Amino acid sequence: MAKIFPIHPKNPERICWGCDKYCPVGSLACGNGSDRTQHPVELFGDDWAEWGLDGVSGPVKPKDG
């Protein structure tokens, strides 16, 4: 089972967010190479979780035809 992904972590710069291991920056275990994956709050700001949700009221039904 996947871990719960935090929306606003206290110190996102201390963790690699690239997989479910959430490794400390000094000991990356997933083997992807040289750098950590940043948390979305670091890249897009505090309101990153609300992007793209305007006007969505439910599942989109495919068009016939």
Q: Count of domains in the chain?
A: 1
Q: Residue 11 has what pLDDT?
A: 93
pLDDT tens track for 5-53: 889 999 999 998 888 888 888 888 876 567 888 999 999 999 888 877 6
Report yes or no on 26 lying in a domain: yes
Q: Residue 56 has what pLDDT?
A: 54
Report yes or no on 61 lying in a domain: no
Q: Residue 61 has what pLDDT?
A: 64
Report yes or no on 19 lying in a domain: yes
- Owning domain of residue 15: 11-46
Report yes or no on 41 lying in a domain: yes
Q: Residue 57 has what pLDDT?
A: 58
- Phi, psi (rounded to 5 degrees) for 50: -95, -5
Task: Sort residue 52 into left (φ over 0), alpha (ψ -120 to 50) or beta.
Answer: left
* 32 neighbors 44 (Cβ within 8 angstroms): no
